[in-house]
Amino acid sequence: QLQFVELGGGLVQPGGSLRLSCAASGFSSDYMAIGWFRKAPGKEREGVAWISVSGGSTKYADSVKGRFTISRDNAKKTVYLDMNTLKFEDTGVYYCAAESPSSWQSLSPIAYNYWGQGTQVTVSS
């Protein structure tokens, strides 16, 4: 069964940067579009970025556009999320997941399967 492990979270000051990674194991993720999501305390889980199978297409939530970059290295079975100019409101647990084959460019959690356990990102001064 496909499993994801997210790494790279931590505590960072506003304006700082972090790089998250999402490593796949158990089954090839090369044929799956991948999404990054986050869940802040008291809020619903929201999609922040999506990347196609080849990596040639990406999509971002308006709240992170211009600050976050999603990329993938299929040879390493890993998807990355580079986060720059971090804000307090970027705080949350960040998850990656595989998009259902019946979906396309969705940032809705219901379109995804095989969730990782998440990594905590805290933006604080």
pLDDT digit string, tens, across residues 102-113: 889 999 999 998
Tens of pLDDT, residue by residue over 43-86, are 999 999 999 999 999 999 999 999 999 999 999 999 999 999 99
Per-residue model confidence (pLDDT) at position 38: 98
- pLDDT 10s digits, 22-34: 999 876 666 889 9
HEC-encoded secondary structure of the chain: CCEEEEECCEEECCCCCEEEEEEEECCCCCCCCEEEEEECCCCCCEEEEEECCCCCCEEECCCCCCCEEEEEEHHHCEEEEEECCCCHHHCEEEEEEEECCCCCCCCCHHHEECCCCCEEEEECC
Q: What confidence category does residue 124 fall into, taking pLDDT thresholds of 50, 70 and 90?
A: very high
Lookup: tokens for 108: 């809705």
